[in-house]
Structure 1
């Protein structure tokens, strides 16, 4: 019934019980999980996970936090692997790519180059993008416009209402997850409640950004608990309350929005679409 549009199921936090985690998600009503890669080194892992579980699909890309070690050879390998996998229906996007101007020590110019080159790959293969947009909303959008990429998801969106409007106008969906469950996250909750419902998709970013009920801090200042894809059900419940809609109505809308952002999901409607 629910789709988690951003989950790092390959992370080491799941090594001990990955099958149990996906089984728990299925039991909770999670029928689709999108697995973004973060570096060339885990391309095969996320692809393999997506092919072992009918609920999972994947994306290939180089995350900005892995940009220090990434160069032209990595971009060449990304293009080679996308070329080899383009007929694989479980490859749904280029991602996770983008810019991070919050973490110290990352070279802004190098990040931007790497991001822009990956946008070219997305454009060349007509694939949407899964975007990391931390403290970089305007710069991310500028590169999207320059490359002509107009489809995908701005994951864990935390920009202004004006920035959200520009992303939506450009054709992007905005991902909301654990942060929306904290009462003190007023800006995020306001966006979740007021943006056009057609602009929103749900996610967890598991194992990160645990929701309020898993956090060790009632004010949402910490997210140390392990998040899992099953928690997208709770995020959906909070979103339905904020929007004043039924969970069934929200599920139908989130499916349509997820397919609009990642059109290859449509091939898995028999597994993932709300029933």
Structure 2
């Protein structure tokens, strides 16, 4: 199963390092680069859309994940307090959104017209400020912290913000790491919201640029110094190289958060 899972990624990596002529004529399994060549990567990094896509994606991932964590932490802390009035009713309304939503058109009209966020990177963050599933997991994790610890802090004069940011969150780092992983990967892979809300190409995130290259086959702009006969065969190598460029950062970051993954999810999954 591991081989079946890893081979497609290995194939893409090897194909991106193969010479385009040898790759076009090859059939069957690909176990090593064919006539090792990094020409495809040269074309990818010459594309100005890749650089702007990286910039926009990093802004959304870093800024969006920070805001997601902040808002989810605030909501989870409130819902984890046993003395909260109408707690069960609030949880029902929040869980209700996991199964029913307003739909694409009302959401688009709300974000684009009512909120006026159309053609801005903010439109990629605000509609997804809080994930219901992540909120429930974090709330359950916060509720597992001994109430006596929080009461002791309040007796010493700490208010709720002090309790949250200086006690609850530091004691919940595994689940916070999982939230960073969930929100960060979601922002990194997001392309649909960018497609419907953004009109300025300078604001396109990396995944939308990748979609254009793979589906719309828009590789000609990278090969201004290549003859028209060679563009089609070199274009295949460029597609593989673009996938690697768009995937490698999240693959590098994932192992550093993986060790918290199981522990954080299990903490957040404990029944009250």
TM-score when normalising by structure 1: 0.25
**Structure whose residues are more often helix by fraction:** 2
Structure 2 length-normalised TM = 0.25
Task: Return the structure number with greater relative CO, CA threshold 8 A, min gap 6.
Answer: 2
